[in-house]
Amino acid sequence: MVSDVKKSAEQKMQKSLTALEADFGKVRSGRPHTGLLDHITVDYYGTPTPIKQLANVTLADARTIGVVPWDKKMSSAIEKAIRDSDMGLNPMTAGEMVRVPMPPLTEERRKDLTKIVKSEAETARIAIRNARRDANNQLKELLKDKLIAEDDDRRAQDDIQKLTDQYIAQVDQLLQTKEAELMAI
């Protein structure tokens, strides 16, 4: 029973960390990567469809993402979807390929992105602490129902606290890495 509570808490904490990594992947730094376009959807015959399901997304060079649609008629729709996204990108169609040049970030924009990243990290920390709280509540219920002893409860709470500290340290490490990446010129 105690091990199930610990395992459940660890899984929730791991999901929070994975979600944070995905959120950090969406925040654009100066360098392009294909994951930047993952959340953009295109109207594909009436159905909103992610770009990666409609085209081959590659890095054309150090500052450009190349999008080659499998259905050649979709080039203009993909270009429009990227332009209309909230990322401030200006794609151009060159033959069959949609080229998405990544403009260099200004210092002000870098600071704004750093604030966004910090708030996402805080959201992940809160989710991890909530997983700890839920696990501790489950342990209290088990103790109240006399399914575990007080010593087991105390040991399990210590273990869950260590897990929490470990995952929060990982969040802090990810945040530090992302901030350094954003502030690098």
pLDDT tens for 37-49 read: 878 889 888 888 8
Return the CATH number of 34-101, one of 1.10.10.410, 3.30.1360.40, 1.10.1060.10, 3.40.50.620: 3.30.1360.40
Sole residue written with tokens 């708030």: 119
Query: Are 131 and 9 spatial neighbours (Cβ–Cβ below 8 Å)?
Result: yes
Residues 114, 112: Cα–Cα separation, whole Å:
5
Residues 25, 51: Cα–Cα separation, whole Å:
16
CATH class of 2-26+106-183: mainly alpha
Residue 78 DSSP SS3: helix
Query: Are 84 and 70 spatial neighbours (Cβ–Cβ below 8 Å)?
Result: no
Which secondary structure element, helix H or strand E, spans residue 5, and what is its range? helix 2-26
Residues 22, 151: Cα–Cα separation, whole Å:
39
Query: Are 79 and 93 spatial neighbours (Cβ–Cβ below 8 Å)?
Result: yes
pLDDT digits (tens, 9 = 90+) for 59-106: 888 788 899 998 888 888 888 888 888 777 888 888 888 898 887 777
pLDDT digits (tens, 9 = 90+) for 105-154: 778 878 878 888 898 899 999 999 999 999 999 989 988 888 888 888 89
Helix ranges restricted to H, 87-185: 107-144, 150-183
Does residue 30 carry a pLDDT above 70? no
End-to-end CA distance of the chain: 51
Domain boundaries, the chain: 2-26+106-183, 34-101
| pTM greater than 0.85 | no
Same fold, 2-26+106-183 and 34-101: no
Residue 31: the pLDDT is 67
Which secondary structure element, helix H or strand E, spans residue 42, and what is its range? strand 41-44
Residue 185: the pLDDT is 63
Residue 137: the pLDDT is 92
Maximum distance among all Cα pairs of the chain, rounded to whole angstroms:
71
Residue 82: the pLDDT is 87
DSSP 106: P
Between CA 120 and CA 128, with CA 124 as vertex, the angle to 5 degrees is 170
